[in-house]
Structure 1
Amino acid sequence: MTALGSAPVSAPEAGSRRRMPGWARAALVVAIGVGILAITTTLTGQTQLTSSGTTQAAVRLLLPILFAALGGLWAERSGIINIGLEGMMILGTWGAAWAGFYGGPWAAVLGGLVFGALGGVLHAVATVTFGVNHIVSGVAITLLGMGVTQYLSTLIFLPLSQNPRQSPRIEGFEEFSIEPLAGWLASLEDQQRVLLSDAAGLLGGVVTGLNPLVVLGFLLVPVSYLVLWRSRFGLRLRSCGENPVAAESLGVQVFTYKYLAVIISGALAGLGGAALTLNPGQLGYLEGQTGGRGYIGLAAMIFGNWRPGGLLAGSALFGYVDGVQLRAGGEAVHALLYSLTILAVVVAVFWAVRRHWRSAVIALAAGAAVYVVYMVIPEVPREFASYAPQLVTLLVLAVASQRLRPPAALGMEYRRGEGD
């Protein structure tokens, strides 16, 4: 039955109002990003922006950030803020180097996982059992991780490497490529065709120079989604982060799930530390090698709105910017300003189509400001270029802050039986 004088909505019309599927939106965003980089490469001559070497470096650099972001996802979906990811990653770097020195790369992975999990246990005891403020506990874990690793390095690594701040060199994983795809993409990249060669270079770096830890990192993204969103275990864990009182009233062991989530979070952060230790350019522990990547991983998780696919995009963004500045320095980072100008125009068009004129004007104004900086400054100084990932972190969080939806009970202290 329909109201008098009103026409029923047909099935095609109802379907046309549905939102674009998530996979389609992701594919569209990737296509737009590749197009913007291709235009920038053509107009600026900075071929390193889309080279397979830059992408390969980006994959290695995003891996620790990705593991840390996944660790943050598991903890915060259960309602526990884990700002101690940096400290757990520091513990993972030392544990990976120590175990890897005696047992090889797989032992390094296990060592990083175990030492990171120990940091997660401490954070869980403090926040879940004793109700310590989550931020205070996270900062304490980071400081403790720094102090413990310094002490252990002096005690164990000094006699081996004659340097208390680093370990002896350890064995890494053998690298492999996905053939014949990698060879075909390399030949297409060498042809220097606009857009095609750029896309081939970006994709070629993803399928070249791989190792088991890279494969594990990318596999953990869909695995985390399936476990957290498509299983009973994940539903119960997420309910602890949304409404622990209601979850307990339905028989969920809230404390148990929070403990498991934070320990898994620490283990994943420790894997991020192992990824740094097993990086082909390092292959060992070096004091301070995390360089704040635990915090960047936390930012990537927030940028991704506490979702696995979003945090993968955030990690890729930060890793790519870091890879560009390491491979090509200030000139390539300067060219990225041109990419930001084009991106601002695309965003302005998007908002104009949706008739959000204020947002469109703001995007155009931001693009104009970035373009002025691009024209006035001929090259970004290397000292500033090295901080490009941190600057991108601040910029991305500022832009993404308007659409964030954290778990409802995130950071709240919970005591068993509060719902009685």
Structure 2
Amino acid sequence: MAVWALGINHTTAPLDLRGRFAFAVDQIPPTLQGLRQALGQGSPHHRVESAIISTCNRTEIYCAGDHAALDHTLGWLAQSGGVSTDVLRAHSYTLEDGPVARHAFRVASGLDSMVLGEPQILGQMKDAVRAADSAGALGSTLNQLFQRSFAVAKEVRTSTEIGAHSISMAAAAVRLASQLFEDLSQTRVLFVGAGEMIELTATHFAARMPKAIAIANRTLERGEKLATRFGGEVLRLSELPDRLHEFDIVVSCTASSLPIVGLGAVERALKKRRHRPMFMVDLAVPRDIEPEVKQLEDVYLYTVDDLASVVQTAQASRQAAVEQAEAIIDAGVQSFLHWMDQRDPQHGVVPLIQQLQGQSDAWRATELARARRRIARGEDIESVLEALSRGVAKKMLHGTLAELRNADGAARAQTAHTASRLFLRSQGKKTL
């Protein structure tokens, strides 16, 4: 069984290119179906397992199958994003077998994030695994890979201080806003979207007790739920152009494939504000706010990539925690590779174990059926049980005893050594 992965992230690809490969959670099941169909056409990859992790900082495809198909996977992803394979190859990374496990474990543990040690990625990975499972695309190999990723991430977080000094995107946004506005309690804040990132960011801003909070969302019911929590009002997205000027701070993070806040709308808002400054944060991939907005004089617009310099702090104090985390990950990788080796039909022991269990079950069933027939005829229970135990033992030892009787020389000595080690182990322990 081969395992491979292909991905782009905040270190390999610019924001706009990442936006071409962003998948909302509800898009993942049909996307996985398309990937598996593409890999299965005229190739030996029809049994491929697959999962897609898509966040604002990364899109990664994980696959497992009889044979690695990195080129096919790269070609499919390039086509889905509308770029050439050469462009995607220049901004992506590909991994096979052990390095796949190491990468997945590092991602789950927050070591590969823009915010070192951030916990959100673990939840996003779990969502991706659930989506793959519900789509029928997750087999035993990828399931093991991800479950072990989650276990390693838990150990990293409980055994190290990897997240103790991290600054989340939400906290970074509040910090930047505080540099522009002396008193955040005098500001009006608008959040566009109602997902997990907006909820987290709204929590951080609400702690500063702003003058007003508003939630604009495509689905009013979800927006109302979040607005009620923070004592704010809810807006329809269609109201944004007319009410944008009311807000000093705008934070947006939706799953829209097109910008929601355009240059013209911001220009009109600034005019109504008499050019009082606006602080804007676009956490979405693809972008929610047109990039040209950043060129306006009285707007301070930050994207997820712009926040990188803010969140990459206290590196030295975290280095010891990183080293501890990497050691935990190394052990996890070795354990996963050992599991993979055991399942290899050419070199592993799992197929042999399955055959031995099947054979022993067949012997047991035969003797049990014979015992039941004797009981039905009214024979003594004790004699039936005695015959049952002798029959099972005889079948279990038949092959070994035959080898010992018929083998010669070195073969007999080797068989005797193996038989002694396998069958006399408990007796040997008593003697010791």
Q: Taking structure 1 as the reference length, what is the TM-score of the superposition?
A: 0.21
**Structure with larger Rg:** 2
Q: Which has the higher relative contact order, 1 or 2, with Cα contacts under 8 A spaced 6 or more apart?
A: 1
Task: Select the structure that is richer in strand.
Answer: 2
